């Protein structure tokens, strides 16, 4: 960090200039407010303080503040779309095949997949039938959302119907 009084280039983390002893307060490049050493963000405008980055952080992309608790990368900083969105209540559905680990221990991997994959397909089909969204499929289970990205007022009921359909279809399977 360069001393504003004598121009000496001090190492990161110094509170006082090693050459002249002047306090190394950080000036915000956005608003010019003076901040004390060790602060990472300006106390006036919330802007990132350039001298506050640690030595290991020089390769990481600098994040610019936008709103309290919201950070966007430099590529997104000029895009208003990065801040758009909506808050909504959703229903999450987690389902997995009970006892699949024990089943897979005694079977050849291909044989186990031949049993598990069709069961997963039935689960996924049940979610899609009621307009759910599969977030993730994990080996022997799924994680699905109802109410997002497609909004439905009756998303909890849709999740319940999907769960009931899964149980019925898997019993038949």
Decide if pLDDT at 67 tops 60: no
All residues at 6 or more sequence positions from 153 whose CB lies less than 8 Å from its CB, including other chains: none
Strand partners, 134: 144
Question: Using an 8 Å Cβ cutoff, are 71 and 64 in contact?
Answer: yes
What confidence tens digit (pLDDT) does each residue in 145-164 have? 999 888 889 999 999 999 99
Q: How confident is the model at residue 48 (pLDDT cuts 50, 70, 90)?
A: confident
- Most confident range (mean pLDDT) of 50-59, 64-73, 78-87 is 78-87
CA distances from 157 to 26, 127, 147, 153, 172 (A): 55, 12, 10, 9, 23
* Whether pTM exceeds 0.75: no
CA separation for the pair 11, 18 (Å, rounded): 9
Residue ranges and CATH numbers for the domains of the chain are 1-84 (no CATH), 91-172 (3.30.70.1230)
pLDDT exceeding 70 applies to what percent of the chain? 79
Question: Using an 8 Å Cβ cutoff, are 163 and 96 in contact?
Answer: no
What confidence tens digit (pLDDT) does each residue in 31-47 have? 777 777 667 777 777 77
All residues at 6 or more sequence positions from 78 whose CB lies less than 8 Å from its CB, including other chains: none
Region 129-145: what's the mean pLDDT?
91
Decide if pLDDT at 125 tops 50: yes
């Amino acid at each position: 960090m360069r001393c504003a009084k004598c121009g000496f280039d001090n190492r990161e983390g110094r509170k006082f200039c090693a050459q002249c002893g002047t306090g190394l307060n950080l000036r915000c490049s956005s608003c010019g407010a003076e901040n004390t050493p060790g602060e990472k963000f300006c106390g006036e405008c919330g802007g990132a303080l350039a001298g506050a980055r640690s030595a290991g952080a020089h390769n990481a992309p600098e994040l610019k503040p936008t709103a309290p608790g919201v950070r966007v990368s430099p590529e997104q900083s000029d895009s208003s779309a990065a801040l758009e969105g909506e808050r909504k209540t959703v229903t999450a559905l987690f389902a997995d095949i009970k006892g699949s680990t024990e089943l897979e221990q005694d079977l050849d991997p291909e044989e186990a997949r031949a049993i598990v994959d069709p069961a997963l397909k039935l689960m996924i089909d049940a979610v899609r039938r009621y307009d759910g969204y599969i977030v993730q499929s994990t080996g022997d289970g799924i994680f699905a959302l109802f109410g997002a990205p497609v909004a439905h007022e009756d998303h909890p009921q849709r999740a319940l119907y999907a769960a009931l359909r899964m149980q019925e279809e898997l019993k038949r399977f």
